[in-house]
Structure 1
Amino acid sequence: MGAKTALVVYADGDVPELLKAVGAPDPERTAELVRRLYPGQVVEEAGESTLWVEARPPEGLVYAGCWPGVEVVCDRRVMVDRPTSELPPEVLAAGAGRRRMVLHAMHSVVDWLAFAVWEDGRLVRALSVSPDDGVIEDVGEPFAFELPYRAGERALEDDEDDGPYPLPYHPLELAEDALRGLVGFVMEDWPKPGDLDAGQVRLLGFRVRA
């Protein structure tokens, strides 16, 4: 798998359903959000793209979109091992007053996954796991999409050359199910009827510098 994500969603309801209804992002509100995330830094417009393309943007760029009831930010700063303690405070503060905040991050090179969910400002679930470090963080009650992995239903076969995989499941497979369950789309898994078309979610780009 070659998928990578680094995104946060702030929402007043069901994230996938809200994102299915969005059109063009509000330029002023989106720029204001990015400036709040990077106080004291220079924020410059840098074109447009989509959630599908910029789920993990290049270094120095942030892609975001603001619509009624939902905001999306794609930013490498959210790729942290411990979402409960290592997120920049501005990222958490931007979720104040929202019913739900969702973080999703994965990196295929190291088979790493992290996701976290806050509801009404309260952390309800966080998981971070990789084959090198094992379970880095595991807080709260698992979501339904996690249960088959925890029950051993997604166990991996031993590799003849490398031996057994260090974990009882592949983190990137869980990452795809988490992305679909929490945000509504997948990067490399087969889409299902009703999935969000992330290529239709338009985002505005911003270059951030000190």
Structure 2
Amino acid sequence: MGAKDWMLFYASDDVSKVLRSSPKIDREATTALVERLYQGHDIRPIADGSLYLGNPPEGEVYAGVFPGLSIVCTWEAANDAPTDLSPRFVREAAGRTLYLHAMHSVVDFFAYAIWSPDGSVRRSFSLSPDSGVIEDIGTPLPFEEKYLAGDPEFIETLDEDDDYPFRFHPLDLAEAALRALFGFNYEGMWEDDDPALEEIVLSGFAVTPS
């Protein structure tokens, strides 16, 4: 398990449907989006990225505006508690559903959250072995049930004296969230109609406080 990401999806349509349609980026709208989110910053275009790498370093942002969907990959989405996300990112949703997904394989960290179109938090959950469950707001979604109840496949891999704090692996839950919410995985099973992540172009920007 080596995947990591920190991503925001602003959706007025089904995310997986939009991604499977091989959407073309609206570069003018994308630049305007980044300028709204990073007011008071110097913003400089850099090389394009893609959804295949949703983990830009601090000081860089990859974003794309598509029909029915906007994507922002930013280190600022990688807070331990998803609801610590800066309010400016939530305001940008403006009547759309906002999804946050973040994971880091080095520390087995996973976080996700969903804000409803009215701006309220529908679900937020984050955890890591070192910190335990960091945030748990709202009702678990169906894809979580197998893991929160104890993943039999993962439990079988544990030794009797293994003191791993969870009965499931956070990154397995992270991949299940990707599949359920967005219709793809970074690691794990590939399905025939999965979107080609390398072909979903995101504009790159360097952002530094003015």
Q: TM-score, normalised by structure 2?
A: 0.92
Which residue is equivalent to 1:77? 76
Q: What pairs up with 1:1-210 in 2 under 5 angstroms? A: 1-53=1-53, 55-84=54-83, 86-98=84-96, 100-120=97-117, 121-154=119-152, 155-156=154-155, 157-159=157-159, 163-210=162-209
* SS, match of residue 165 in structure 2: coil
Gaps of 5+ in 2: none
Q: Is the 8 A contact 1:38 1:90 kept in 2?
A: no
- Distance in 2 (CA, whole Å) between partners of 1:25 and 1:119 is 25
- Distance in 1 (CA, whole Å) between partners of 2:28 and 2:150 is 47
The list of structure 1 runs, each at least 4 consecutive aligned residues, that deviate by more than 4 angstroms after superposition, is: none
- Distance in 1 (CA, whole Å) between partners of 2:68 and 2:105 is 31
Which range moves more in the overlay, 194-203 or 151-160?
A: 151-160
1:22 positional shift: 4.2
Identity %: 45
Aligned residues: 206
* SS, match of residue 128 in structure 1: strand
**Aligned residue type for 2:45:** E
The one-character-per-residue Cα deviations of 1:104-134 (angstroms, maximum 9, x if unpaired) are: 0000010000000112122111100111111
Q: Is the 8 A contact 1:22 1:67 kept in 2?
A: no
- Distance in 2 (CA, whole Å) between partners of 1:151 and 1:196 is 30
- Distance in 2 (CA, whole Å) between partners of 1:190 and 1:131 is 25
Gaps of 5+ in 1: none
Q: Is the 8 A contact 1:60 1:208 kept in 2?
A: yes
* SS, match of residue 9 in structure 2: strand
The one-character-per-residue Cα deviations of 1:53-97 (angstroms, maximum 9, x if unpaired) are: 2x101231100000121100000111011112x111211111112
* SS, match of residue 164 in structure 2: coil
- Distance in 2 (CA, whole Å) between partners of 1:80 and 1:179 is 18
**Aligned residue type for 2:146:** P
1:46 positional shift: 0.7
- Distance in 1 (CA, whole Å) between partners of 2:112 and 2:66 is 23
- Distance in 2 (CA, whole Å) between partners of 1:69 and 1:165 is 41
